[in-house]
A and B are shown apart, each in its own frame.
Chain A
Amino acid sequence: MARAVTTQRKTLNTVIAWGIGLLIFFPILWTILTSFKTEGQAIADPPLFLFFDWTLENYAVVQERSDYMRFLWNSVIIAGGSTLLGIIIAVPAAWSMAFVPSKRTKDILLWMLSTKMLPAVGVLYPIYLLFISLGLLDTRIGLTIVLMLINLPIIVWMLYTYFKEIPGEILEAARMDGASLKEEILYVLTPMAIPGIASTVLLNIILAWNEAFWTLNLTAANAAPLTAFIASYSSPEGLFFAKLSAASTMAIAPILILGWFSQKQLVRGLTFGAVK
């Protein structure tokens, strides 16, 4: 039976939720607003919120200086490619861990997660040397592989959690009906886990899109994604906040739009199994 909630309580909850939401969104809003200011207005003290001379000059400068589409295309390929590759590897891995666990499964899961505890810079030189030897430096395929490997523990963990919510008896029934392993994963497990897989895909795309250590250190001119595009507008000598904000807004726009349209799927996936 649902609990009765008073109107007053509902209003309070709504106000708090909006307040927290706006607080989280404020840095992004501020970046977007700053992108429409002049460099002088961007550093004005006290800060200017809405009442300033709005200008598109920063966007024009950024467009003129940088080949935005090339950076965007690289981001799409690297984030999309690493996610796809990760899912292809993680689905069977998570299946085996969830439905045919060995006594070492938990140890393996913890070991996988422990690789995320190492600071990335600690392995920069070995990875860099490997990339030189394999000719992968400044290539999209190289970055796709690295980002896939970096995010693989998270993908496996998320999928493992979702798969654990699915009753093993359903898969057993499919097997008794003569389904092969491939058919069991593809036609029985995957459709049931679609919300979980979708949210894993979305989260992984966001992580790969925003990754700024390897994407800066393993690229030069050819494979540089939008993180490198943003980094090119920061400067220790001179005013740059407005142009940097314009570049940041252009870089986050695609992922914001993706997040906006897929928020229902994302929330559903992230809370999958929380309520039975």
Chain B
Amino acid sequence: MKYFARAVLGAAVVSLMASTAHADGHAKTLTIATVNNGDMIRMQGLTDDFTEKTGHKVEWVTLEENVLRQRVTTDITTKGGAFDIMTIGMYEAPIWGKNGWLVPLNNLSAEYDVDDILPAMRGGLSYDGTLFAAPFYGESSMIMYRTDLMEKAGMEMPDAPTWDFVRKAAAAMTDRDNDINGICLRGKAGWGEGGAFITAMSNSFGARWFDEEWNAQFDTEEWKNTLTFFKGMMDESGPAGYATNGFNENLSLFQQGKCGMWIDATVAASFVTNPKDSTVADSVGFALAPDTGLGKRSNWLWAWALAIPAGSQKVDAATQFIEWATSKGYIELVASKEGWANVPPGARTSLYENPNYKDIPFAKMTLDSILSADPNDSTVKPSPYVGIQFAAIPEFAGIATEVSQEFSAAYAGQQTIEEALAKAQAITNDAMEAAGYK
């Protein structure tokens, strides 16, 4: 027993010494939670550059987007401190910033040049003028279309088409015998899937989620027009089972040459033009997301950004990492190793002024799409919320998931559009009332 007590005491002293040495030492190990996408994985491969420059090491926790969202939300709301940096989106940043869950990024160095961040991105990641997350890459949505099929249909895609043009072009490009669908769009339930698309589309039809008193607006003519148009066009020219198609399903269809047009995230442009995976890489054109002439287009705005949770004990090292990962220098590093087509897009103004990047076929349309999206003024009629494909309130994700399920059921023919909208109206009003907005 005496030996056991000595052994325990000895182990405790050694552990204490080790932990003290670690705390005093300059080098730290940062734990970063991130999503699994090409740009983030590329960054993981380049982390040695950061370690060489600062001495800090990095441990990655990579998860699928929805799993990550649940995981980091649990940690930040309980102040768990499991992560020193979290990858979050434009939806979370202002809400979490407002709640005091994130460290404000006020002390970024002059060399970092925070003013170079695209204004739309900076605005979407701030609350009350304070930046809470630095954009690693940003995206909007745009039309990707098959130039060969468009030519065969005898039509020419304008840079800024209307929904009527898109519908006509889709019908003209559809060739059921050869398994070609004129248009592929997201119909899958989920606020970040079909919910995001239809919300952005509804903006261009003059619809909005809430009026200024936070009353749901699904009983309006604008929403009915949006859903009627969407379902009509997709039934005419969309793929079978489009009600369950999300980003990946449509990407797969487009890359196999089964879509004439696809309206989705600008980040998809690099996938569909990559000859390694896409059979139509050399015949893809780009255009702005369509409108109906009401002054709002149907493109969204999103950014994956890096933020420091308020519970982190390593704020200085975490800030250093964020500066490194979202800097102009990092863009240069990626360009030198993997080419300009692979640099993280949509975050910095200087990237779009770079002559090397201007040669990338989708660069201009990506920038134009981002610049045409304004989260602070996304609807034709006034609305009380910030956000384009979402409303930046904590209740939105839950409500929109339920609403999008009703919409998907309507696309699949399980209920009428009127029934889906009536249910959406009730779901939203009930939730808003329960949350104390009314």
Contacts and interface: CB of A to CB of B under 8 A. Distances in A.
B36 A235 contact: yes
Interface stretch (B100-108, B111-119, B246-254, B415-423): B246-254
24 contacts: A40-B277, A40-B279, A44-B256, A45-B258, A65-B44, A124-B74, A128-B78, A131-B80, A132-B80, A220-B82, A221-B60, A221-B61, A224-B61, A231-B67, A232-B36, A232-B61, A232-B63, A232-B64, A234-B67, A235-B65, A235-B248, A236-B65, A238-B251, A239-B277
A222 B59 CA distance: 9
A250 to B, nearest CB: 15
Contacts of B317: none
B35 A235 contact: yes
Interface in A163-220: 216-217, 220
Nearest to A44: B256
A31 B325 CA distance: 35
Say which size band chain B's interface belongs to. 35 or more
A37 to B, nearest CB: 12
Interface of A: 38-40, 43-45, 65, 124-125, 128-129, 131-132, 137-138, 216-217, 220-222, 224, 228, 231-240
Given A40-B276, A138-B82, A232-B64, 19 more contacts: A45-B256, A45-B258, A128-B78, A131-B80, A137-B81, A216-B71, A220-B31, A220-B33, A221-B31, A221-B60, A224-B61, A231-B63, A232-B36, A232-B61, A236-B192, A237-B265, A237-B268, A238-B248, A238-B251
B372 interface: no
Contacts of B193: 236
Given A216-B63, A236-B66, A137 B248 contact: no
Contacts, number: 99
B255 to A, nearest CB: 7
A220 B267 contact: no
Q: From B41, B80, B82, name the one whose CB has the most chain A CB atoms within 10 angstroms.
A: B82
B31 A238 contact: no
Instruction: State the 4 A-B residue pairs at the shortest beta-carbon distance, nearest first.
Output: A221-B59, A232-B62, A234-B64, A235-B36
A239 B252 CA distance: 8
Contacts of A129: 78
A231 B256 CA distance: 26
Contacts of A235: 35-37, 64-65, 248
Contacts of A222: 59
Contact of A240 (B36, B44, B63): B36
Contact of B255 (A40, A128, A231, A237): A40
Interface in B227-264: 246-248, 251-252, 255-256, 258
Contacts of B210: none
A76 B367 CA distance: 49
Contacts of A132: 78-81
A40 B38 CA distance: 16
Contacts of A237: 37, 65, 247-248, 265, 267-268
A236 B71 contact: no
A263 B227 CA distance: 55
